[in-house]
Amino acid sequence: MRKKGLLPASFLLSLVAGLLAAAPSGFFGKTRAQDQSLSPKFHALQVVYEKNVQNAKGCLRSPDGRFAEILPGGQLVVLMENILFPSLIIGNLEEAGCLDSGSVVGKGEADFGLEGRFTWEDTQGEQHHEWILLGVSATGFCISPPPLPIHPFEDSAGVDMIRITNPGTKSLFVDAVIGYGRML
């Protein structure tokens, strides 16, 4: 009876190990084979800012094998097709995690920065923006909203731009920035 319980557990462990091994070396994000999320997907629509970047438009739309190369000291800011909403927290308090709000498909330098421009409206209807760090996971990134100074987080607040910075010594290659829509 004990062997029956071990087979499924060992199968799950080998499956997880296989998924982790398939991820690009030194760079988080999903490869095409892994990117099988059930939630609706959208992508980077426009390059808003680039510094020390070659082929910046290579990161727009869905993954296609054309890469934007962010050189050492470079920075790339992209506008998303839709708003990325804060991640849902799952699990209990001790082991809580979050569902990915999106992912970056790429390869290269492991030393990089990832931020999102968090946008919200105050009670007078004035729009505010703040760059926040994104929580990196093995499969993508999570968004945790900052505490708002005037009123608590609203359902319409979220991230509209992603900023990727390369403080490393080698190039960073970005094929696509993917956002996941809300599950209804």
- Greater confidence (155 vs 147) lies with 147
Where b means 16+ CB within 10 Å and e means fewer, 160-177 reads bbbbbbbebeebbbbbbb
Rounded to the nearest 10°, the torsion over CA 90, 42, 134, 165 is: 160
- Collapsing DSSP to helix, strand or coil, 118 comes out as strand
Question: Given this model, what pLDDT does residue 54 score?
Answer: 97
Question: Given this model, what pLDDT does residue 89 score?
Answer: 63
Q: Look up the pTM and report it.
A: 0.73
Contacts of 181 (CB under 8 A, 6+ apart): 39, 40, 41, 42, 82
Rounded to the nearest 10°, the torsion over CA 172, 173, 175, 176 is: 10
- Closest alpha carbon to 48 in 60, 39, 40, 37: 60
Looking at the chain, how many residues does it have? 184
Question: Given this model, what pLDDT does residue 125 score?
Answer: 82
* φ and ψ of 128, to 5 deg: -125, 155
Whether 34 and 23 have beta carbons less than 8 Å apart is answered as: yes
Outline where the chain has alpha helix (H): 2-22
Over the stretch 98-150, which tens digit does the pLDDT of each residue have? Answer: 778 899 999 987 778 999 998 877 778 888 888 999 988 778 888 876 665 54
Position 182 pLDDT exceeds 70: no
Whether 90 and 99 have beta carbons less than 8 Å apart is answered as: yes
Query: In DSSP terms, which residues pair with 35 in a beta bridge?
Result: none
Q: Which tokens hold the place of 72?
A: 């050492």
Question: Mean pLDDT: which of 49-63, 90-104, 137-151 is highest?
Answer: 49-63
